[in-house]
Amino acid sequence: MVGVVFGTSAVLWAFVSAGAAVLAGITGIIVPIVTHNQTTKANKAGFYLEFTQRYNTPEMHDALLKLTLLHTELGASLPERFTSEFARGTELGRELDRARREVNRYFVNIAEMHTNGLIDRKLASMLCNFQGLNIFYTVVIPMNDAKYGKLTHTQRLYSKLRRIRPQYEDGTFGLRP
């Protein structure tokens, strides 16, 4: 009888040991996955905060305001006025070009990073979640086209960005002096 009890205990102990080994193996798989996901989210959050600092600079605010005010004043003739002033080397032409470049680089960088798989669509959309996106679409792209022509590469980037985020909120500029 002792042998039977001992044999049952040994079998039971073997099952418990095997179960513990399986749980340890599962934990060994799940913990790194959870840790990786948390690390990925933390990295994305850090990148988001760091990248959007570019948008929150006084230079970006000034650029957006300048472009908004001139677009309000000149409307559809702003791109032609810009290229004329820029070609003549006037201070206004240089200021408009600086403003155009400031806004352009922020949004084009997002499209380029998404195109090259460096950021996912959700993060790209979050990075575009500013009213400056509407100014980029309405003012900066026509200025770029007037200065450089409709280059295939940049048109693809603009299309990519429009698919990610067609506009901010209602499409208005929202900036006030």
Which of 135, 142, 166 lies closest to 64 in space, CA to CA?
135
* Per-residue model confidence as pLDDT tens digits over 22-69: 666 676 666 556 555 667 778 888 889 999 999 999 999 999 999 999
The pLDDT, as a whole number, for residue 110 is: 96
Give this prediction's pTM.
Answer: 0.76
> Residue 73 corresponds to which amino acid?
E
Going from N- to C-terminal start, the domains of the chain cover 57-164
Cα distance between residue 13 and residue 162, in whole Å: 63
Phi, psi of 110 (to 5 degrees): -60, -50
The pLDDT, as a whole number, for residue 13 is: 73
Per-chain mean pLDDT for the chain: 86
